[in-house]
Chain A
Amino acid sequence: MRAYFSAFRMRLRLETQYRGAMIGGILCQLFFGIILVALYRALYAGRPQPIPIEHVTTYVWIQQSLFRMLTSTDVDLYDKIRSGNISYDLCRPVSMYWFYYFRAAAQKLMGSLMRGAPMIAFAALLPRGWGITAPDSLPAFALSIAALFPGFLCMCALENIAIGVTMRTLDPRGISGMLSLLMITFSGNLLPLTLFPDRWQAVIRWLPYSQLLDAPIRLYTGEYAPAEAVWIIPMQFLWAAVLMGLGMWLWDSNRKRLIVQGG
């Protein structure tokens, strides 16, 4: 375990070095946040939806603030995969899957905290109907934070699946590009899942992607009642376990291929 925590700590610290990327990321996400909010306000002006506009703007801002949790990728690792240097990680007495899982977790955590904290502060200052509103209730707030943890585990597990796919195709475009498109769409980053047609939502809410940020945000806004957390949070953990299992299987079969075919 020591090795994994050590890798986690090191990646946390490393992430704080990329301040230029942080400022760039904040500006970019602020831009998207404002555009999306304006877009939904225009939509509501024409045709009001059953979900209150404050919930939608809160949804948009939390998604934009934690964008880095969904999409940060480890450039070093992709380089290693392309060049074949990844095979030299087999010379270490650790599990590669968990080593890179913890590395990804640190990158996502620090990257999104550094960008998310100032953005949420900014969005909280905006007028109601433009920015973030307060949580529905204190239990709703506590449960949304609690649900963020298994959601985070799922995000890191999905990242490792994308890496596992890249190990096969050797190129982060292609299939893993499609995976990230699925992620952006069905996590609610592009269009809040609450605005999808009801019949779509009946399916989408069970997908792994809605466990990431959608479930915590809906608990926050009160879309999901606090009592519903009894099955939401276990489902998130279940998906985390499934995604980890899938990723480990993928990495293990990649490792065997690597061992047979060479670096």
Chain B
Amino acid sequence: MSYIEVNGLKKSFTVKKKREKGKLFREKQIVEALKGISFSVDRGELVGYIGPNGAGKSTTVKILSGILTPDGGEATVGGRVPWQERREYVRHIGVVFGQRSQLWWDVPIIDSFSLLKDIYRLSEADYSSRLKELSEALQLEELMRTPLRLLSLGQRMRAELCGSLLHRPELLFLDEPTIGLDAVSKLALRDFLKWENSEHGTTVMLTTHDMEDIAALCSRVMVLGHGRKLYDGKLPELLEKYDTVRTVNVKYDAAHPELVLPEGVSAEWNDSELSLSYSPSKLPTAQLLALLQDAGRISEMTLQPENIDHLIAAMYKEMDL
């Protein structure tokens, strides 16, 4: 049995609409956030959980962190049912929600950490060794005596991570942890998560809209849409399916040289500059490059890097999300 087992999980919400003119009661609308999701995650896995806004990602995370009770289906984490015996269960998990804070706003972060020590009943020795380890890895030593409200967003997120990992949870939920962070903070955060995962075998479930997060961190990705699971597997394999078209830009020394391109390649000339798109599966890249080189002296050339966001957008479109 895997560490996380989810089977046919269902959840719907009742949303009250604004009362329409001439009607006595407000209309209610039932929104099915999850329509029966199943998956399993092994201990120590780093799983990315993606999907457009409103796909049901946060609902799944809330159910698995014991905040919500599902309407149907089963879920166990390490043999425990999250929404039963909630208080015992939450001892073993950590949560970071990108846009919310669990630390106290007006007090130095070290005080918030020491409150967490008491909340999770950590021993002094255990707490101080873990705090030392985390504050080194997250570079928080200088900031310990600073109130949370004075920290930058990147520093605050590092402090949040430290707070959620003090009690050495087996499982860490991250809900959009890199939202609003600058490039340096993002990279540092990713490095830290990789380190925590390999050093302590912490299982991580990550929801994000930043595909770079997934590419850098997750060996496995699940795609969710309209409350259903649409894909579960490795990221490269997912991308391969949608990564059908590449774009090449070439600039020649002379204007508009003689060039005959095979069918299926669309080309557009702009004086000496050529921009064309092709599918590598039909026309091998090496063959195309040979053709281009034969036509004349190339002064500049770029092969458009695969834009992960475009791929995902194409995928969402095909999946009708």
Contacts and interface: CB of A to CB of B under 8 A. Distances in A.
Is chain B a partner of chain A in the same complex?
Answer: yes
B113 to A, nearest CB: 11
A234 to B, nearest CB: 33
B107 A14 contact: yes
B87 A93 contact: yes
A169 interface: no
Contacts of B106: 14, 17
A177 interface: no
Given A87-B67, A93-B88, A14 B119 contact: no
Contact of A259 (B14, B83, B119, B120): B83
B217 interface: no
Interface stretch (B44-52, B89-97, B264-272, B284-292): B89-97
B62 A263 contact: yes
Interface residues of A, number: 26
Interface in B105-159: 105-107, 111, 114-115, 117-121
A232 to B, nearest CB: 36
Interface string B195-218: 000000000000000000000000
Given A88-B67, A259-B69, A262-B68, A6 B59 contact: no
Given A76-B105, A88-B97, A94-B87, A7 B115 contact: yes
B65 A6 contact: no
Contacts of B115: 3, 6-7, 10
B118 A91 contact: no
B90 A93 contact: yes
Interface string A196-215: 00000000000000000000
B86 interface: yes
A10 B100 contact: no
Contacts of A83: 100
B90 A92 contact: yes
A3 B91 contact: no
Contacts of B88: 93
A90 interface: yes
Contacts, number: 74
A47 interface: no
Interface string B51-80: 000000001001001111100000000000
A258 B62 CA distance: 11
A13 interface: yes
Interface in A53-95: 76, 83, 85, 87-88, 90-95
B104 interface: yes
B111 A91 contact: no
B13 A261 contact: yes
Contacts of B118: 2-3, 5-7
A230 interface: no
Contacts of A259: 67-69, 83
Contact of B119 (A6, A13, A258, A261): A6
A95, A258, A262 — which one has the most chain B CB atoms within 10 A of its CB? A262
Interface string A217-228: 000000000000
A87 B86 CA distance: 13
A100 to B, nearest CB: 13
A38 B119 CA distance: 50
A45 interface: no
Interface in A235-263: 258-263
Nearest to A7: B115
Contacts of B68: 259-260, 262
A92 B62 CA distance: 13
Nearest to B101: A85
A125 to B, nearest CB: 34
A69 B120 CA distance: 30
Interface in B26-53: none
A91 B121 contact: no
B293 interface: no
Contact of A10 (B59, B86, B111): B111
A91 B119 contact: no
B102 interface: yes
A88 B99 CA distance: 12
B67 A93 contact: no
B111 to A, nearest CB: 6
B71 to A, nearest CB: 9
Contacts of A76: 104-105
A262 B14 CA distance: 10
Contact of B90 (A5, A14, A90): A90
Contacts of B87: 93-95
Contacts of B121: 2-3
A260 B70 CA distance: 8
B60 to A, nearest CB: 12
Given A5-B118, A6-B117, 18 more contacts: A3-B119, A10-B107, A14-B106, A14-B107, A17-B106, A76-B105, A85-B100, A85-B101, A87-B62, A88-B102, A90-B66, A91-B95, A92-B119, A93-B91, A93-B119, A259-B83, A262-B68, A263-B67
10 contacts: A3-B118, A7-B115, A7-B118, A10-B104, A85-B100, A92-B119, A93-B119, A93-B120, A94-B119, A259-B69
Q: Which 7 A-B pairs have the closest CB atoms?
A: A6-B118, A3-B119, A2-B118, A3-B118, A93-B87, A93-B91, A90-B67
